[in-house]
């Protein structure tokens, strides 16, 4: 019997100390690099977008990889690439930790559009407020002292 899955994850993580270091002029190269990492793990990237201080990724998760390993591989490889490429001169590192939220197939298009509209969205809501809201909406308990 084959293995079947339908798991959509919105993965969100920020830059170290929330420093604005993802520049708009070169962000599409970062997206292509992350797409390559996701693709190499037999996952499908549905949407990616960022702001200067954080990134959103919507992907499925192949049964052969754990979520924590996928996120670790994305962060480690892109961290090295961003520093070595010279395209992100203000980038120091990614923050520790991440948020991962699951969605059903019925919600997939809504999340794709949400990620697509990040730049417009963040004119009204800060990353901190957005992240806090997502944690609450998904019933995830958190400690405020780790939110900064």
Residue ranges of domains in the chain: 8-139
In this prediction, residue 145 carries a pLDDT of: 77
Query: Percentage of residues in the chain with pLDDT exceeding 90?
Result: 87
Q: What is the pTM of this model?
A: 0.92
Query: Is the pLDDT reported for residue 36 higher than 90?
Result: yes
* Strand-strand pairing, 54-60 and 45-51: antiparallel
Q: In sequence order, what are the residues at sequence separation of 6 or more whose Cβ sits closer than 8 angstroms to the Cβ of residue 12?
A: 54, 55, 56, 57, 98, 99, 100, 101, 131, 134
On the CB side of 143, CA atoms within 13 Å amount to 2
- Say whether pLDDT at 26 is over 80: yes
Assigned token pair, 84: 């070595």
> Does the structure show a pLDDT above 80 at 147?
no
Candidate CATH numbers 3.40.50.720, 3.50.50.60, 3.30.70.1290, 2.40.37.10; the one for domain 8-139: 3.30.70.1290
Q: How confident is the model at residue 148 (pLDDT cuts 50, 70, 90)?
A: low
**What pLDDT is recorded for position 61?**
94
Distance, CA of 66 to CA of 138 (rounded, Å): 20
Q: Tens digit of pLDDT for each residue in 65-114? A: 999 999 999 999 999 999 999 999 999 999 999 999 999 999 999 999 99
What's the confidence (pLDDT) of residue 138? Answer: 92
């Amino acid at each position: 019997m084959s293995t079947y899955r339908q798991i959509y994850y919105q993965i969100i993580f920020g830059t170290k100390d929330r420093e604005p270091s993802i520049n708009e002029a070169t962000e599409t190269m970062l997206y292509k690099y992350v797409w390559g990492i996701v693709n190499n793990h037999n996952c499908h990237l549905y949407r990616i977008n960022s702001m200067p201080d954080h990134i959103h990724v919507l992907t499925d998760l192949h049964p052969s990889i754990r979520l924590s390993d996928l996120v670790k591989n994305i962060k480690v490889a892109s961290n090295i690439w961003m520093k070595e490429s010279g395209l992100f001169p203000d980038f120091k590192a990614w923050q520790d930790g991440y948020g991962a939220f699951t969605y059903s197939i019925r919600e997939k298009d809504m999340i794709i559009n949400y990620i697509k509209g990040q730049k417009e969205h963040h004119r009204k809501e800060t990353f901190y407020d957005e992240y806090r809201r997502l944690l609450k909406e998904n019933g995830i308990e958190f400690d405020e002292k780790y939110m900064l």
